[in-house]
Structure 1
Amino acid sequence: MSTSMRVMELVHFGGADEAFVSRELPRPVPGPGQVLVRVMATSVNPLDLQTRRGDYRDEVALPAVIGNDVSGVVVETGPGADEFQAGDEVWYLAPVFAGQGTYAEFHVVDQALVARKPAGLSHIEAAGLALVGVTVWEALVERAGLRVGERVLVHGGAGGVGSAAIQLARALGAEVVTTARVRDHEFVTELGADTAIDFSTGDYVPQVREMGGVDVVLDTVGGDTLSRSPEVLADRGRVVSIVDISEPQNLLAAWGVNAAYHFVFVSPGRAKLEALGRLVDQGKLRPVIGAVLPLADVAQAHTLLEGGTTSDGRRRPRGKIAIAVHPLDR
């Protein structure tokens, strides 16, 4: 096996077009308790966009290999890493801002963070579910404590996180209300949403209040969602946001409904992946892959996720944008 690997390295903060360069770097070597994984697929997430723009420049020193999702095959194990062996198909969420990212042909990770890939998922599908799946599990299960019979409002149901959140909420036995454009209403309903509200043509608040409000709000879109959530929350409702807060918001109204606010910056973990894998095996959760691009086109993938148009005319799809790193027959 070659001692080098191809990566897409972030060399400039700012726009996607000039941000990445293809380079050959030394293939990493697994240390104690680590495994070396041939990355079959990764994906692009809002966190990657924020990192590329320079939002986390204090945590990321250039040049850097970014990215966090992995689905791949173990090729080597380090000393004491006895839970996996070469040939095992695995998936995981790489630690954020800690070491090399996943826009690369190979990646080293502590075995404690790794789970066996669900047999029912392709590498592309698994890579598209890792970060968003762990995010919604942490948001809805660990933070919001969503219960059977409760009602949840998922903002941005047609997106990568939103599409996973709708499915997870349904699997938990909750009633799901989501915001989405009219063209996406059939799509989010097929995912399991009970009610879809067109956010582009009117105010969602009166419509949610007419149905009696919600117990949980999942904010995937930002804006004034935090300050407006008390208008739709039942007493002792919970708000979970996965969005960076860029502007101050007045949360005084939250006091009147005894609201609890939670802010999630996702953390990796095998137990969450295994829980998601069980839902996959039960047919209750499936990633929505809207586009697949090769590793060399990671800048185009960023452009798509930001809502731009690629050089060949593609526009942002529903669900996740996956990156095929190694051809599956290689």
Structure 2
Amino acid sequence: MTTTTERPTMTPTMRAMVITQNGGPDVLTPAKIPTPRRRGSEILIRVAAAGVNPFDVDARAGRVGSCGSPELPAVLGCDFSGTVVESPYAAFPLKPGTEVYGVASVPRSAGTYAEYVSVPLLSVTRKPKSLSHVEAAAVPLAALTAWGLVVDVAKAHEGQRILVHAGAGGVGHFVVQFAAYFGAHVIATGSSRNADWLTELGASEVIDYTQSLFEEATVGVDVVIDLVDDDEVALRSVRVLRLGGLLVHVPTCEVPGLQDLCDSVGARLTGYEVAPDATCLAIIARLLDSGDVAVYVDDVYDLEDVADAHRLLAKGHTRGKLVLKITDE
């Protein structure tokens, strides 16, 4: 059954957090800007909550990765959960009033640190029924990334040994759950405070990186999923791979000498780039509603306090995701 609410009214202007220049968290400033207009086959969404991701921090600071940097002035934010305001046509399945979640097309379009966003059809699907908007907004980008890493790249299966760096992070806690769901033996690196939680998520082993070197604690790994932006960690990860094993280095910066090192020991190396996928988001929604997968929200901020969320995220060591509450549910 489709979840619907009363059709929200649209205003000509909206609250948003805008950057007019690259820099530190303080460049995020509140503004009233025109509400976006739906174009072509897009869907206009009234945003209830938005996720905060490392990509947002990099884009704000002007660190240009393979996705490019948004044109200034810009509204950041990829994840959203909210309610459909306008659909492409009358018989479209996601009618006005339907609760949805998905991913905005940043940097090609404005992001989700705002009351409204207009997104392509492939970027949005029905929100998980069991989740609040705040919880649902923590899911899309992190879970899509994790799904691609585990299912499309690692091809997780029973008997496979997968090492996950930063297993307690936004992407990491989904990687651990998806890999365990498909039967892999999951080894996660994390701090001592997250050890029990990672075990609950499905990790068979947890290596406390503050107490021991992971390459001394495990060996013969089929796949390493490296979510840490640290060249040394990437290079050390090659040591734990079996012959023919695969290192998936997710951070976009290329690590000097990493490909040569993998070649020298008979290991494979790849990066990864996530893409919006409404069909995959619908599968993830069913896993969340069934209880096979869970999302963890570390903290919730008001829209105008997004700079504080950026500061915390830049320090690292958050558990799960940070979320902005934008409008009342």
TM-score, structure 1 as length reference: 0.91
* Distance apart, 1:39 and its partner CA: 0.5
Worse-matched range after superposition: 34-43 or 253-262: 253-262
Instruction: Measure the CA separation in 2 of the matches of 1:200 and 1:136.
Output: 24
Q: Deviations over 1:192-245 (max 9, x none)?
A: 111111112331101112xxx211111110222332222111222112122122
* Distance apart, 1:109 and its partner CA: 0.8
Match of residue 14 from structure 2: 5
Instruction: Measure the CA separation in 2 of the matches of 1:282 and 1:142.
Output: 22
Q: How does 1:281-292 map to 2 (within 5 A)?
A: 281-292=289-300
Contiguous gaps of at least 5 residues in structure 2: 1-9
Please, which of 5, 24, 29 is the counterpart of residue 15 of structure 1? 24
Residues 146 and 216, structure 1, Cα contact 8 Å, conserved in 2: no
Instruction: Measure the CA separation in 1 of the matches of 2:258 and 2:120.
Output: 42
Residues 63 and 69, structure 2, Cα contact 8 Å, conserved in 1: no
Instruction: Measure the CA separation in 2 of the matches of 1:40 and 1:66.
Output: 15
Q: How does 1:238-277 map to 2 (within 5 A)?
A: 238-245=246-253, 247-277=255-285
Q: How does 1:125-274 map to 2 (within 5 A)?
A: 125-209=135-219, 213-223=220-230, 224-245=232-253, 247-274=255-282
* Distance apart, 1:281 and its partner CA: 2.5
* Distance apart, 1:83 and its partner CA: 2.8
Instruction: Measure the CA separation in 2 of the matches of 1:114 and 1:319.
Output: 22
Contiguous gaps of at least 5 residues in structure 1: 309-315
Instruction: Measure the CA separation in 2 of the matches of 1:190 and 1:291.
Output: 20
Instruction: Measure the CA separation in 2 of the matches of 1:326 and 1:136.
Output: 28
Residues 104 and 117, structure 2, Cα contact 8 Å, conserved in 1: no
Residue 101 of structure 1 pairs with residue 111 of structure 2? yes
Worse-matched range after superposition: 74-83 or 229-238: 74-83
Q: Deviations over 1:142-163 (max 9, x none)?
A: 1122222211101011111111
* Distance apart, 1:258 and its partner CA: 3.3
Q: Deviations over 1:177-200 (max 9, x none)?
A: 011111221121111111111112
Residues 32 and 79, structure 1, Cα contact 8 Å, conserved in 2: no
Please, which of 29, 32, 41 is the counterpart of residue 40 of structure 2? 32
Query: 3-state SS of the aligned residue for 1:179?
Result: strand
Residues 48 and 66, structure 1, Cα contact 8 Å, conserved in 2: yes
Query: 3-state SS of the aligned residue for 1:306?
Result: helix
Match of residue 60 from structure 1: 70
Query: 3-state SS of the aligned residue for 2:328?
Result: coil
Worse-matched range after superposition: 200-209 or 286-295: 200-209
Worse-matched range after superposition: 238-247 or 97-106: 238-247
Give the partner amino acid of 2:311: T
Residue 83 of structure 1 pairs with residue 89 of structure 2? no
Instruction: Measure the CA separation in 2 of the matches of 1:79 and 1:59.
Output: 32
Worse-matched range after superposition: 131-140 or 87-96: 87-96
Aligned residues: 317
Q: Deviations over 1:241-273 (max 9, x none)?
A: 221225413433422553222211211111221
* Distance apart, 1:80 and its partner CA: 7.5
Instruction: Measure the CA separation in 2 of the matches of 1:200 and 1:12.
Output: 37
Query: 3-state SS of the aligned residue for 2:218?
Result: helix
TM-score, structure 2 as length reference: 0.91
Aligned pair in 2 of structure 1 residues 107, 81: CA closer, same or farther (>3 Å)?
Answer: farther
Query: 3-state SS of the aligned residue for 2:83?
Result: strand
Give the partner amino acid of 1:221: V
Instruction: Measure the CA separation in 2 of the matches of 1:230 and 1:266.
Output: 23
Large movers: runs of 4+ above 6 Å: none
Query: 3-state SS of the aligned residue for 1:321?
Result: strand
Q: How does 1:36-47 map to 2 (within 5 A)?
A: 36-47=44-55
Residue 119 of structure 1 pairs with residue 120 of structure 2? no
Residue 324 of structure 1 pairs with residue 325 of structure 2? yes
Match of residue 288 from structure 2: 280
* RMSD of aligned Cα (Å): 1.8
Match of residue 311 from structure 1: none
